[in-house]
A = this chain, B = another copy of it.
Amino acid sequence: MPRLVMKFGGTSVANVDRIRNVAAHVAREVAAGYEVAVVVSAMSGKTNELVAWVKDADALYAETEYDAVVASGEQVTSGLLAIALNKAGIRARSWQGWQIPIHTSDAHGSARIEGIDPTNLDAGFARGEVAVIAGFQGVHAETGRIATLGRGGSDTSAVAIAAAIGAERCDIYTDVDGVYTTDPRVVPKAKRMERVTFEEMLEMASLGAKVLQVRSVELAMIHRVPTTVRSSFDPPDAARPGTLICDEDQIVEQQTITGIAFSKDEAQITLRSVKDSPGIAAAIFGPLADANINVDMIIQTVSGDTGSGGTATTDMTFTVPAADYQRARAVLDAQREIIRFGQIEGATDVVKVSAIGVGMRSHAGVAAKAFRALAEKGINIRAITTSEIKFSVLIDAAYTELAVRTLHSLYGLDQA
């Protein structure tokens, strides 16, 4: 029999009524002939409650104990859904990560899945049982301790399980009905996509679209697991298919640009009058990397000025996650004697707007068109990065909506 993984997030299992609704969605797929594994998150709000208790007990908590506490949220949902399925006449049992087992690294709080043994799940399917799996967690083999995958980790659990059991598809049920060309709250004309490639979805998730955890898209891409994003709020007997994330060759009409993403989680730092000597980039970015701060966009402008020693100086502009802004400045200040910059400036009221599409690979001038359109609207571009299938611009946060709407129209994404 073909297999299917269905994943339900926190709002989809927020209370017992919603869990009954999930059971009805599962019943539909069982009736359609699938062997089903369901992956569940904690009831919405529960993880936040548990995290608050942990932080109250000690702001500098041990990650191992954080994991023991917060993993309980998914445990509760898995048992309740198994009960609701049994009530609906469907054989089901709950599985905790350690029972399957799902082996993880020992990076507690943000562990990586290292392997899933499908033997126990296979035996359950052979008994005609739906497997209801607590998402977001596994067990570290050597210590036997519960490890969680980090916030949103249930998406990753679902895709990894789909790969391990050879599922035909992984359906991620959530409170939206698919992936949109951009955030519909910003652009009311945003369209739901029928299909999007793994590569595009990965860029969109990385660049600020919050619909899926980045790691889950990576895994889906690596293991070629067709994955959908669809709504658990559709009636179970009239559920729409949502958005399919799939291989490029499964998409007939490929557009140049498929989506516009934006992220407000950016801060800009500029170092003025940096002595432009060999190794200067390493002197700046080495210490930031050591402090676990991810540097994204980097622009180096040769200013043409010469310093007192006669060497040329340059301005260095780059972005860091907004949460790391103050820490990054402190790291750089501590290195001032080594880097020898004139001044440090920064801005947190910036936003990164990105356009994504595999069609960029075969079309020249896609980005140039955008720069022109933004300039015409009077939007100043502070920095640019590009890759094979996306480009990003850093602009003042005040222009976010204007920029996103401009690009959305420019690439023909507005709903008819």
Contact = CB atoms under 8 A, between A and B. Distances in A.
Interface string A8-39: 00000000100110000000000000000000
B86 A58 contact: yes
Contact of A53 (B75, B80, B145): B80
Contacts of A83: 54, 57-58, 61-62, 65-66, 69
Given A65-B94, A69-B80, A94-B68, A58 B87 contact: yes
A11 B239 CA distance: 46
Interface in A79-108: 79-80, 82-84, 86-87, 93-94, 96, 98-99
A76 interface: yes
A174 B253 CA distance: 69
Given A53-B16, A86-B62, A96 B79 contact: no
Contact of A68 (B62, B65, B79): B79
Contacts of A376: none
Nearest to A58: B87
A54 B99 CA distance: 21
Contacts of A188: none
A50 interface: yes
A256 to B, nearest CB: 49
A73 B79 CA distance: 13
Interface residues of A, number: 39
A78 interface: yes
A412 interface: no
A130 to B, nearest CB: 12
Contacts of A61: 83, 86-87
Interface centre among A20, A56, A60, A71 (most CB of B within 10 A): A56
Oligomeric state, in number of copies? 2
A266 B233 CA distance: 49
Contact of A75 (B16, B75, B93): B75
A93 B76 contact: no
B79 A65 contact: yes
B68 A53 contact: no
A93 B65 contact: yes
A68 B54 contact: no
A199 to B, nearest CB: 39
Nearest to A120: B144
A139 to B, nearest CB: 9
Interface in A43-73: 50, 53-54, 56-58, 60-62, 64-69, 71-73
B99 A144 contact: yes
A75 B78 contact: no
Given A57-B80, A64-B94, A96-B146, 17 more contacts: A16-B57, A19-B57, A57-B84, A57-B87, A58-B83, A58-B87, A62-B82, A64-B93, A65-B82, A65-B93, A68-B75, A69-B75, A69-B80, A69-B83, A71-B75, A72-B76, A99-B145
Interface of A: 16, 19-20, 50, 53-54, 56-58, 60-62, 64-69, 71-73, 75-76, 78-80, 82-84, 86-87, 93-94, 96, 98-99, 144-146
12 contacts: A16-B53, A54-B79, A58-B83, A58-B87, A61-B86, A61-B87, A64-B93, A67-B79, A68-B78, A72-B72, A72-B76, A99-B145
Closest 10 pairs between A and B when the two form their complex, measured CB to CB: A69-B79, A68-B79, A58-B87, A72-B72, A57-B83, A16-B56, A65-B79, A65-B82, A61-B83, A72-B75
